[in-house]
Amino acid sequence: MVLRPSHALVRAALLLAVAGLLTLLTHQVALLVLVAPFAAWCALGVLRRPPRTVPEPSSALSARRLVVGSVAEHVVEAPGWVLDVEVPRPLRCELEPPLGAVVAADRTVVRVQPQRWGRHTVTPAPARLTDDWGLWRGSWRPVAQAFTVAPARDAPGGSEAVPHPVGLVGIHPSRVRGEGSALAEVRAFRTGDRLRRINWRVTSRTGELHTNATTAERDTELLVVTDTLSDVAGDGAGASSLDLTVLAAAAVSGHYLGLGDRVGLHDLGRVIGSVPPGAGARQRTRITEQLASATVERIDRSVVRRVHRVRPGSLVVVCSPLLDADVLLEVLRLVHRGAAVLAVDTLPPELGRLDDTPRGGAASALDALAERFRPGRFWEEAWALRRLERDVELSRLAELGVPVVPWRGLEGLGLVVGALAANRTAPRLSRSLGGGGR
């Protein structure tokens, strides 16, 4: 790191040189008395001149893997120097101090609190260093530090909000009666019971047919499908559709992995990527890291990555704003392949919701005047029309046996999954979406 005299030391040296020149020209020795403090300042600067090789400061982040809402500290250390550090605010992050500027001796700390998942980069501005007397200064550019942010772990309505997946194939016992190997009770024989389940000991003792009722087994495979083909947001500071999609995918996959099921992740776009089905803590880590390393810059609406491998009877949770016709057709294709599909609507609720609250005469006149000069002044009305068109498409999905649930946490999701489990054998309509346009 190269050190230079500070501006104060340079001004003092120039003033001393000018005073010496004037003394030679005018023979006024009193001028030297006037600049004596500046001469002492320059002498102090020469005596305190640092060595040629000065070790560079160090910068580091306290954590490289965070969760939304957690805090990482950007630390710059330079023992024996006064640091002036400025960290520009990364996108969708909060800084402490708010402007990211800190002046301190030996060590500076700027706290970064990300408000959105994905990959973020802290790119500090060149730091300025001065000694404690302000005689020498230097400039040093800290290295940019990248970190990944995972969605929040605690989703509303967690724990046992989702009772069990759909299906009867697996190794995890369920509390629901059905085909399985675990004995639930011995009850009277009913029409439709299998003959091989008859309990002959109880039958011979009571004189009436009795059968063994078993507990169904939990489905071991769940596929979470994310739609990252678009990212729409309202005018406020609320979450966008992509934020809700990632949050829903993280909450659903984390919940089922906690139950011991096999969970896979498939992205219809190119933002997140796909994760093969797996179970356990390692699979939870893989999905979390996959979601954390996503970047919005990779959004590509031109290509839809279809789901190629899905087992009939599996539960497929599609997290999507349900705006793209290709996504709706992919949902229909999954239904025709025998999967139990549940669509989670991640469109921000404020989009397309017009405010019907009447306003006063003066306020309405000002609003009308402001509307005439506002670009895109019919944006809310356009979204209201688009939401009406989308409601028609969602009603067609409901006719095909695909329930659509707005994302409000796992509570509402659990009710719909329970309904799917109860109606798993119900017939499905084999019809297309018809006029669902883009």
Q: Which residue has the higher pLDDT, 356 or 332?
A: 332
- Segment 345-357, tens digit of pLDDT: 988 887 766 655 4
CA distance 409 to 66: 21
Residues 321 and 357 in one domain: yes
Residues 234 and 349 in one domain: yes
Tell whether the model's pLDDT for residue 417 goes beyond 80.
no
Residues 272 and 415 in one domain: yes
Q: Is-contact 357 367, C-beta < 8 A? A: no
Residues 229 and 370 in one domain: yes
pLDDT band for position 31 (cuts 50, 70, 90): confident
Residues 33 and 130 in one domain: no
Residue 424 carries which DSSP code?
A: T
Cis bond upstream, residue 51 (ω within 30): no
Tell whether the model's pLDDT for residue 435 goes beyond 80.
no
Residues 339 and 239 in one domain: yes
In a domain, 166, yes or no: no
CA distance 241 to 351: 10
Containing H/E element for 73? strand 72-86
Alpha carbons within 13 angstroms on the beta-carbon side of residue 160 total: 3
Q: Find the domain containing 36 and state its range.
A: 3-47
Residue 124 carries which DSSP code?
A: P
3-state helix, strand, coil in the chain (%, to 5): 30, 30, 40
Using a pLDDT cut of 70, give the percent of the chain over it.
78
Residues 261 and 320 in one domain: yes
Mean pLDDT of the chain: 79
**Nearby residues of 434 by Cβ (< 8 Å), 6 or more positions away:** 396
pLDDT at 39: 87
**Arithmetic mean of pLDDT, 226-234:** 84
CA distance 136 to 225: 59
Q: Where are the alpha helices (DSSP H) in 200-324?
A: 200-206, 241-258, 281-292
Residues 200 and 70 in one domain: no
**Nearby residues of 324 by Cβ (< 8 Å), 6 or more positions away:** 227, 229, 230, 301, 304, 438
DSSP-assigned states of every residue in 156-180: TT-TTSS---S-S-SSEEEEEEEEE
Dig out the tokens for 80 from the structure.
Answer: 């024996």
Q: Which residue has the higher pLDDT, 101 or 164?
A: 101
pLDDT at 377: 60
Of 155-159, 207-211, 345-349, minimum mean pLDDT range: 155-159
In a domain, 176, yes or no: no
SS3 315: strand
Kindly report the pTM of this predicted structure: 0.68
We report the CATH number of the domain holding residue 68 as 2.60.40.680
In a domain, 429, yes or no: no
In a domain, 308, yes or no: yes
In a domain, 167, yes or no: no
Give the burial class of 83: count Cβ atoms within 10 A of its Cβ; 0-12 exposed, 13-18 middle, 19 or more buried.
Answer: buried
Torsion angle of C-alpha atoms 237, 243, 248, 251, degrees rounded to 10: -90
Tell whether the model's pLDDT for residue 93 goes beyond 50.
yes
> How many structural domains compose the chain?
4
We report the CATH number of the domain holding residue 290 as 3.40.50
Sign (positive or negative) of CA dihedral 239, 242, 248, 254: negative
CA distance 316 to 221: 9
In a domain, 187, yes or no: yes
Tell whether the model's pLDDT for residue 265 goes beyond 50.
yes
Torsion angle of C-alpha atoms 166, 171, 175, 177, degrees rounded to 10: 70
In a domain, 311, yes or no: yes
Residues 128 and 240 in one domain: no
DSSP-assigned states of every residue in 195-226: GGGB-HHHHHHHSS-EEEEEEEEE--EEEEEE
Q: Which residue has the higher pLDDT, 33 or 372?
A: 33
Q: Is-contact 294 288, C-beta < 8 A? A: no
Residues 397 and 341 in one domain: yes
Return the CA Rg of the chain: 34
User: What type of residue is 348?
Assistant: P
Residues 334 and 364 in one domain: yes
CA distance 373 to 363: 16
pLDDT at 378: 66
Nearest to 72 by CA among 24, 122, 23, 117: 122
Residues 399 and 253 in one domain: yes
Dig out the tokens for 136 from the structure.
Answer: 């020498």
In a domain, 325, yes or no: yes
